Structure 1
Amino acid sequence: MCAALYLLSTLAGYVLTSVLLLKCPAILHRRKRETFRSRHISHRGGAGENLENTMAAFRHAVELGTDMLELDCHLTKDEQVVVLHDDNLKRATGVSGDIANVAYTDLPPYLCRLGVTFQKECYCDGGEDKRIPLLKDVFEAFPDTPVNVDIKVNDDTLIKKVSELVIQYNREQLTVWGNSSNQIVRKCYKENPRIPLLFSLPRVLLLVGLFYTGLLPFFPLREQFLEIPMPSIISKLKDPSRMTKSQRLLTWLADTLLMRKALFDHLTARGIQVYIWVLNDEEDFQRAFNLGATGIMTDYPTKLKSFMEKNSLLKSD
């Protein structure tokens, strides 16, 4: 009987401590220093309004007032760091071939029309700019704009060269980098621990597990940015009637587990920014901000700006 009471009292003490630290993490953790805060993030520069990952897209987003540019990096055969999403050129240019096997000067231009990945049956018709840019072009053109760099492949040379460019352009406090791969993120941290990190997918799963077991408030986190999808948008990208019951259940479960205001509030209190991607309609914009997300990644920067203006959300907290 005494042992049972002791166990119950210990458990109650743990739960109360966990709840307290979840609400007030500063008791245990020093808040991470924020050199910028991004609410409006342009996915691939705004892939619904200009051809993705082009200088025209980035320029449009920055002129619009975006807080951050999101882009993807690969390495060419002659070891140039280029801004491109796919490792194969087929979807973007119509010419099949891995970018790692093509020199930069030999890269074909973008197609005139590209599908918008996160908008059902939607295409973007581009203007004159169809050139695949170099990462240094972006850094040179927008020296004061935060840039979110997705390292698309596990390549030590790519990681090293991105770090060198970040240092060269004095952007260690204006750049975020990483990938869903934990191995890539570990290499990024080892190469340059001064550049803020994204959570990899395994670390996101760990984060969720720690949150639901009550252990998160006690756990140190080196990452400074959490980027996660809103699972419910799958129903807008696919025909719900063609989804199986198990797919719908899995989507609901993932959405229920990930989209938690208590989790986002705790991370924000620790100085970790929470970005939700890729949202392209006002209903999802509203839900993300209601949940406490720091920022939203979108293919339609003009639409997001209009929503934020209408709801007085343009100024960072």
Structure 2
Amino acid sequence: MVTWRGRDHITACLDAVAAQDRPHRTVVVDNASDDGTAELLARHPSAPEVVRLPRNAGYAGGLAAVLPRMSTPLVAWLNDDAAPEPGWLAALEDALAARTDAAAATSWLLRPDGTPQSVGVRLTADGHGADLTELADGADGVFGFCGGAALLRTDVLAAVGGVPAEFFCYYEDTDTAWRLRLAGWQVVTVPSARVRHQHGASSNPGSPLFHRWNERNRLVMLLRCAPAGVALRELARFAVITALLPVRRLRSGATAGAVPRAANFQVGLRLRVLGEVAGRLPAALAQRGRISAAGQRARTAVWREWAGR
């Protein structure tokens, strides 16, 4: 699990992991917390192995930092504000044992009131990763796993390129699931693997930073994983909307709702996203080449199978 200033909520997560009935190794990546988290971890009776980073590398960076240390055949990703129910780890392990064609198993994440937050991730027609809160009748699976609570095959994860540390936070799970599918692997959802999740305890969904990471990482993910036409279309669409926003605001005047007020419709934020995507373009294209070299399925085949579902 990865934590940053998690003192107020990580104890519930550690207690729940310690209560699992399958043998496991607990590793906590502390992203340079300065709120007493380190002292709490040192005192916890489960004695987790703690890897303290010199700076906050985000969720993706924290996972990437410890992946080379993992010697177990399976590795779980778990948010520090998530508390798995007893039997969670066993359910995920059993699911992967039964599905040798699957490289990842996703939990069912529940909000504190018990309503579903995510039973897996779907791929939208414009290349967003979106949480599914239910499975449609006859649905035969989910595109990807929610990184808040999932189990993956360690060797397969490493073989497809590991975790994209440069994402910092958000879309590292959808990007990873996409690469797994391109390599010919499946992702399964496990209804009996249930986790209570506070969601956003150490981040601020809806904030400018949240939207900046989301928008940037989605576009970089598309450049890495999507068919070229889809990636170029969505990048162009983002740029055109950014250019037209000032015009729309001038034309609409005081008309309520003409331009959404959300942070991801702020021109400055969108220009910063475009600049960051441009700066990451050479690396993204190089990664795209490596993903293609390791791939077993065509990008267009994966896109046609899952986009819009």
TM range (shorter): under 0.3
TM-score (norm 2): 0.23
TM-score (norm 1): 0.22
